[in-house]
Chains A and B, each alone.
Chain A
Amino acid sequence: MASTTETKQKKMLILKSADNDEFEIEESVGVQSETIKNLVEDGFTFVPLPNVYTKALIKIIDYLKKHANKTDSNDEEIKTFDKDFVNTTFDDLFELVSAANYLHISCLMNMLCQTIADRIKDKSPEAVRKIFHINCDYTPEEEAKIRKANAQAFEGQFDESLD
């Protein structure tokens, strides 16, 4: 019984995703997002998020819940959670990064950007193109020119593998 009265005392927020799904979360969890925090401070308890789809929102709520309960003892646990969190496809990562940016959750933003950057790191331009499915829009002449300029700048070694 005690627990139900406790939850009643806790302020709850309703988040609505772009797919019109509604999620109820504790205010203390939600305010980790600057965007939500601003709305809460203006007295809103119903927060429509037209830029965030359900799929990403579920993951982000997971993340927020985990990080809201951060204490000194579960540091390791959160690290493992974060590791799993970013261990996903590029599509998901970009979806999440856009959502995190919209929601202004800077720690999540940084973690996601770092993850994406880590996958570009030390790759050759060809590998980056393949990883992100980018079509090269240079003419062969332009490409040769830039290649030459780059070679003069730094002579680096690239990793040709695609993982």
Chain B
Amino acid sequence: MSVSAVSGGRKRLSEGLTVTQKVFVRSRNGGATKIVREHYLRNDIPCLSRSCSICPTIVVPDAKNELPKFVLSESPQDLKNIGKHYTVLDTNIVLQAIDLLENPNCFFDVIVPQIVLDEVRNKSYPVYTRLRNLCRDSDGKKRFIVFHNEFSEATFVERLKDESINDRNDRAIRKTCEWYLDHLAKSEIKIILVSNDRLNRISASDEKFITKSLYEYVELLPNSDEVKESMPNLDSSQYNKDAESINEFSYPEFYPTSRIMGGLKNGSLFQGNIQISEYNFLEGSVNIPSFSRPVLVVGQKNLNRAFNGDQVIVELLPESQWKAPSTVALDAEHYDVNDNPENDNEVDANLIADSQRRLLAENAITAQKSNKVQPTARVVAIPRRSWRQYVGQIAPNSVDTQTGGTQNVFVILMDKCLPKIRIRTRRATELLSKRIVVSIDSWPSNHKFPLGHFVRNLGGVEEAQAETEALLLEHDVEYRPFSKKVLECLPEEGHDWKAPVDLKSQDAIAKDPLLQKRVDLRDKLICSIDPPGCVDIDDALHAKKLPNGHFEVGVHIADVTHFVKAGTPLDAEGASRGTSVYLVDKRIDMLPMLLGTDLCSLKPYVDRFAFSVIWELDENADIVKVDFSKSVIRSREAFSYEQAQLRIDDKNQTDELTLGMRALLDLSIKLKQKRLDAGALNLASPEVKVHMDSETSDPGEVEIKKLLATNSLVEEFMLLANISVARKIYDSFPQTAMLRRHAAPPSTNFEILNEMLQKRKGLSISLESSKALADSLDRCVDKKDPYFNTLVRIMSTRCMMAAQYFYSGAYSYSDFRHYGLAVDIYTHFTSPIRRYCDVVAHRQLAGAIGYEPLDLSHRDKNKMEMICKNINRRHRNAQFAGRASIEYYVGQVMRNNESVETGYVIKVLNNGIVVIVPKFGVEGLIRLENLTKDTSSANFDEVDFKLTFTQIDTGKQREIHVFDKVEVQLKSVLDPVTSKRKAELLLK
């Protein structure tokens, strides 16, 4: 929303405070509302410069009785021909060059006018957050401040008649510069306004302060050569004189907002997020609520500059252009501009009336239900970009190694769903075969590819560190060390922290009044069971037979929230990371090491704080009663799964701890059976583990994960704890309880798989209920091939919905259901060290049992909504990052041993087949060119999922069906264009 003032009408209220009215019109959904707000102007807004002697006398303390800090240096950067200066930023600079602003080697002592901050906030919230962080954290080095020009009597400007809001805001920025210049006249500090808005610069030319474009400003800097590398790449013809930009190519222009709003309202345009096909980067699909299936968007011009994940507005194409989803594999790196297989015949859409468009939409919905021809659409606007920083490498063929100067080169991104990016750099030759980070600046309609700029060099391709960093960046995982502010929240004692020996001691209670509410469970025989080498022990268990024949079973979870209090920087960091990320060679912690691996970790032989769930279970493992309490425990032993198994199996061990463990195992088996009876699913994913050579940290061998009975022992009790806690917190906080749900998969997800099963094996998967699904999966067996069942499970997993975190107010009770686990309510409670959901659940449980009042942020629907959104995203990213890491290392392992392995065909395409190799958990596309010499002889049978071709070596006809077991030669190759190692499969 824009800011403007009603002309005239300032009223003085008291010394230094006047009030005026802001009047503007808000257009929304076709309506227009006149909005009036009070606007107070004051004279106590400080300049925050250390060289100023006036402002320190006018400042007033805030609600916490703190005075503002004077941040701007008295001796700022001294530039040649200009002198000492402060920089004032225009909105366009913040939006275009936030990376540059964050660069530690340029932009010091920067003034951000409030109006710029507001404009940035309206245009891009993420950039706003980054700018705010800069202002918050940079007091030492970068020294950014916000000057509230809109609230200062001296700098507020009223909108003039016929003045556009932009002109008014530009004037406000200039007024701020002028004020600073006057205000700091004594100290001889110059003011430089940096703006890429030419008109703003021209208007400022009569002023006394200096005005520069970003380029001009950077030129002035002593380290300008280095800084220029990270300059945003915009379509300003001044330095884009090459041929590519002025070719005849152009994308259709986007529709104006009024048309989009109207079209969305009357049902002739649709909005959704676009997903680019993994196999074909020129094909996207958009999920639209009124359509049963995604609508296809095919071809470069129809995609119209959309990126994977962008929020787009689409318009249906005429029926004559509808088609089946492509069965062609196509990726960006191998895609050549000139042999574009899609003919981009343009339709002048505006000639079709909306009434006809609605008819078209109805036809489209019918078509989706009946036949294979799918409605297609084209993108007409992109309301929200998903742009972030991307990792890629320079395409070697786009570099001219002869000329040393600045040149335009293409960067091919690691994400194969995305187009290549054009950047300008003078270090092209040096950056060849390096992983680099780039940022996208713009995509003008006359450019075939988006424009971006170089941000950072991660290191050489296939250097472990560079690859890991690339992977973390690609999945948006925060991996920087914890900041000072975060670490300051940790207990002062550090590793020497100890739980108080006597819970009743006055000293200890004085330090922590809540200690009185803790239960002493140090007499219980508690142990933990984890993977070998586990250092962050979240959970521990105990069981004891009660005199009445029942069992007392306790699950004890690390009491993370004792150390991570809501509202602290530590909490904020944990909330933003959302989860720990596990890579093959690295773990990125959600919380600092001190907590995760020491103070919170339920290590054996020491006293630790825990959050305990204690049940009384009868002999059938039914819950008789459940109790929750914060406690102090002392774990007797930390077992690995194997050790625990050995101990239980060892008949000679009859001590109480072992008896307890045996009881736990027995109960867990009963629990599991009950769960399976209720219809819990047993799905599979091709999980492998990479063994690292402990000396060289080189990947050794790949192993498929094994499961022991003790694995499921721990799992069952964790599930039970999660369910019990979910019920309790839902009871206490019916609107904001942190829960986890798993929706039933829509039958359309299983359509193709079922068709394949039907055609090839005469089998089918039932979707009536989770129980039916589980049973039908059990029936999917091929007597000749025991792996077939696992294969079907893997493929089914891919058809399932993803489980998600949510707050209880967001869904009705019936939708809380966890389909996979077949329970009505579920949450995550048992791993607070590595998941933020569990932290919230801990706090809510603590609130529910009256241990301590629940923080407001976990009682507020909006805040919970934000938390859920973030942890869902982080969780997904962490999973992808973990998988990508395994993929990379599997590639490294295969690099050394080329071999022939057994694989299964899981997808048959027009120009290739997709094969999965269970041993390595890899899958890959075998292109038709690599199957046969004569691609024209190949015949693709869509109905039978069959590809027929002439084999290369034998010259015989060969048929490949889906589910076929095939021998493939497996090797790892480095793609020369993308420098990405991929498993290359060749059919034997």
Do these two chains interact?
Answer: no
